[in-house]
Amino acid sequence: MVTFLAAIFVFGLLIISHEMGHFFTAKACGVKVSEFSVGMGPKLFGIKGKETDYSLRIFPIGGYVKMLGEEEESQDPRAFCNQSPWRRLVVIIAGAFMNFVVAIVLLTIFNFNVGVYKPIVNKVVPNMPAEKAGLKADDRITAVNNNSIESWEEFISFVDQNKDKDFKLTVDRNGQKLDVTLKPEFDKTANKYMIGIESKYVKGSFAESIADAFRKTNQIVKEIFKFFGFLFQGKISSNDVGGPVAIIKMSGEAAKLGIWNLIMFAAFLSINLGVINLVPFPALDGGWVVILLIEGITGKKPNEDKLGIVNLIGFSILMALAVFITYKDILKLGSF
């Protein structure tokens, strides 16, 4: 039951916020929206509005906002196809934009109530470089190689880029400056270089919570691109990619660890959804962004028939990929 409710919360929040971005921006631009749907496949139930039908569908793997003139020609001045390319571009990117907004709001709530990671040692992992170098709990990290460190994210980014090279770490221990030399070790489980310390959560002001939410979002976006890079280079297996089934299971696991873990997980997924939707691939929002940018610069509309074929091919590939990932998820259910 916990897993079911957690999955409904996560999927519902991500899908509704994304589609609301498209919906409200389309309305603001004067575009007629004929349907707002949460979910895909057969309709569970629906409500008929003044000019928009609202529906909930059986498969919680997405949603859509159907606009007049989005897939067909129309002479109506409120049709999507009759708007300027820049207006259409705003409508298209609004979905992903809302995913980032939701993530920042969730992270801000998390930070304000739980705290933000500070470059302060909370725990030293036994038999790791940090313990061997003499680091202790409550040591405050102030610099690496004489370059000041302001945030925990800044520090872990340095360690990740530094890899297995020796570096000088400066810490403040009860007001005393202490320099130690460390050499990170590669952790196969985490798939990254580590020195063996855990950071401490410290509650801060609301402004600090917002600032840290932006920092976390930026860091997660960088990690997503890094993951894609490793995936294309063959450094990461397709087994490391999860789909709807994996998300449902992980939502339940996060919820069992507490509401704050679930909120953090939802924020992470929201950022993922925003980034993936902006990938310049046919049928994704990112594919439309490229097309509209070209149209806006050249002043020439693409051939609708050819564009329809390209988007159909892109959609078919995405559906095949979704089926493949879901199948892999089901096979892995017993080994999470």
Tens-place pLDDT, residues 261-310 = 889 889 998 998 899 889 888 878 888 898 889 888 888 877 666 666 76
Task: From residue 327, give the alpha-carbon distance in Å to each of 42, 216, 290, 314, 322.
Answer: 21, 31, 31, 20, 8
Marked catalytic residue, from 19, 35, 70, 223: 19
Assess contact for 157 and 85: CB atoms under 8 A.
no
Whether the per-residue pLDDT at 129 is higher than 70: the answer is yes
Question: Residue 19 catalytic?
Answer: yes
pLDDT score of 249: 64
Calpha distance 205→45 (Å, rounded): 44
Task: Report residue 103 as tokens.
Answer: 């993530």
The string of pLDDT tens digits covering residues 38-87 is 988 899 988 998 899 999 998 877 889 999 988 778 888 999 988 999 99
Q: What is the pTM of this model?
A: 0.79
Q: Is the pLDDT of residue 200 over 70?
A: yes
Residue written as token pair 């988007």: 311
* pLDDT of 216 over the 80 cut: yes
| pLDDT of residue 117 exceeding 80 | yes
159, 221, 311, 334 from 238: Cα distances, Å: 26, 20, 24, 17
From the number of C-beta atoms within 10 Å of its C-beta (0-12, 13-18, 19+), residue 236 rates as: middle
C-alpha distances in angstroms, 214 versus 103, 161, 221, 273?
9, 21, 11, 17
The CA R_g of the chain, rounded to the nearest whole Å, is: 23
Residue 25's alpha-carbon distances to 22, 29, 30, 56, 66, in angstroms, are 5, 6, 9, 21, 13
Query: What residue ranges do the domains of the chain occupy?
Result: 2-112+262-335, 117-202
> What residues have CB less than 8 Å from 232, skipping those under 6 apart?
none
Q: What CA–CA distances, in Å, run from 19 to 32, 44, 54, 258, 266? A: 15, 18, 12, 28, 16
**Range 244-252 average pLDDT:** 64
Domain 117-202 coded CATH 2.30.42.10: yes
Say which DSSP state 68 is in.
T
* Averaged pLDDT, 191-201: 85
Angle at 323 between CA 1 and CA 71, to 5 degrees: 105
